[in-house]
Structure 1
Amino acid sequence: MTQSASSTIALRTVATVLVLGSLAGCDTLSEWLAPDKVDYKSATSAPTLTVPSDLSKAHLDDHFSVPATSIGLGGAPMFTQTANGSATLGVPTAQDPLGMHIERDGDIRRLVVDGRTPEELWPELKAFWQENGFVLQTDQPAQGLMETNWAENRAKIGNDWFRSSIGKLFDGIYSSGTLDKFRTVVEHGSDGSTEITISHSALEEVMIGQQKETSRWVSRPRDPNLEQAFLNRMIQKFGLSNTQAMMLQANARVGDAKVATVADGAPALDLSEPFDRAWLRIGVALDRSSFAVDNSDKSKGLYYVRYIDDTQDVKKEGLFGKLLTSSAPPKKLVVNVRPKSDSQTQVSVVDASGNIDTSADAKRLVSTLGAALN
């Protein structure tokens, strides 16, 4: 190892030791998601990010459902203004007086915006991630998929006395040792609505070698609280207040879909829900797995996927360095989502002939989907 590399690692080690104390005790939702705990690329234009640690059922006052007027804001989609001055990007209905609602499936939450198409909301979603300090790495309106780059939450580093004084001169040597990125899945819902789901992926830097002389990036579990927090912030981007956003979170509609393996033991899943809903849930589950969706064809019920190693995507200059990538191409698989009846859908991995794939990779993928859906 060169003298320069040794010096860099030494500096990082010193910085890490100095900030460990400031990071301790920040694992609770209320602490971690406080306004000063989220700072991706020092984005200062984003609204305050706050999510209560314990949401209780909240009541939406009837005055939110009064006849509304539409107003255009800077060429953006038309906002709806209610009599009390509230604004919403959605179109209020008797069921959704704020023009949108939250649906919950386990720890997965999705935002349903009434009366708006994905095409109308796409520019707002792009602006949302940019305002929150991210660069879009994937921007595919036709596929309904948006993905940010890997970014570091600088607020997790802490601001101890050393960094606030001398350390500001060498801020580049500080690192939280974690990276995050987010996928946004946007789908056409029923009755002209749009369904939006945020998926979180995370990496953690670990030291390796006999003398801990180098490091590598490894995947760490997704944080559903962070997904929920950014969904809360997105609701505010769409015109509502933080209080209204929390009410939508508290009144999330719980789904009762059931997932089971098929009776004959083949590597497939049966979902007790119609095709449209199953198609969306499988797409979200794939986004939360170690499989990337390269393409999809809803008319044929097919997702074309491949296994990915998240660490291969990290190419950050300076302390993060460039990672070595494998030359072996990942195996590609085809996920088939097909309706069995109006209320039941089957999911399996198929081969080139359309038959159920019983390979180890296919079984692994089905098992991963089953765990995610349950």
Structure 2
Amino acid sequence: MSSSTVKYSIVVVSLLAMSACGAFRDRSHDYRRAELSKPLELPPGVESDALGDRYVVPGIESHTVLPGEFSLPRPEPLTKNVGTAEVKIQKLDDQRWILLDGTPNQVWPRVRAFLDRAGLKLGDIDGEQGIMETEWRETEPGAPLERFRFVLDQGVQVGTSEIHVLVQNRPGEDFPEVSTDLQREDQMVRVLAQYLADSEAQGTVSILARRGGSESKGKIFLEGEEGNHYLRLFLPNERAWAALGLALTKAGFEIEDASPAVNKYWLSYIDPEEELGWFSRMIGADRRKRSRYVVEMKMLGEFESVILLNYQKGRRLRNDEREALLKRIMGFLH
């Protein structure tokens, strides 16, 4: 018999002996047996004002006990992906944009300040759509003229904004759908993101850039009746699929398989908040339950989709479990 086996046997025997002796008596329900004690009696002539109850709980004259059993839900985890005053550059294929905290009407004056600092003269402005366009300018003698379009849009999460940059350095009256110089676009996105990260938010709110408004509601919503909750997402289909895959990974799901052809992810998940018993923690064993789910994204249009969550084997999810998992995924979508 090896020394490790002997040590393990001694630990187990010792634990069983200690348990039999009552060394590990469960005290978690002792409070249920607590009784009210009599008020403290003071000797005659001693004032009791300092010992009085400052926060007296009023009595309940009548009450009704509701039938059935109830479970208190866990508090929602802080899964918001975008931190305070954090600026990120997001990418999808050849697309890139800036993601930051603040509604579009809060970010608008900060972008205006950047344009003034960079010496870019504004041409057309559309505050309703959150669009700023610069005038044509010459970067150096003999080089093509260039101009920029900055689009401020509501972010996926509540209270966030996205800034998209479009570069045009070829003759034309209208801006193209894609920048004519992707390298120049990337440079401008990086410079603007660095400026926004370095500058302090002054809390200025512009009456322009009404896109999203002061009561911004984001682009993702938890909808559905009790027991049939789902997520509704307003993003281009390609970006929605990529954003969902990234959110699942960040939310702690392990992607076992993915099929863009049917818009499904097959997942496994271990609840990080599930508590282990003291014995499992002592011997280093992780006996938390691994659950397997399937997430399906149904495309309702070019810019709209819904996200459904179920067990892989067809078993029905509990109402509170589905809602909690969808909220967790929702917190990491951006």
TM-score bucket of the superposed structures, by smaller chain? 0.3 to 0.5
TM-score in terms of structure 2 length: 0.39
Larger radius of gyration: 2
Higher helix share: 1
TM-score in terms of structure 1 length: 0.35
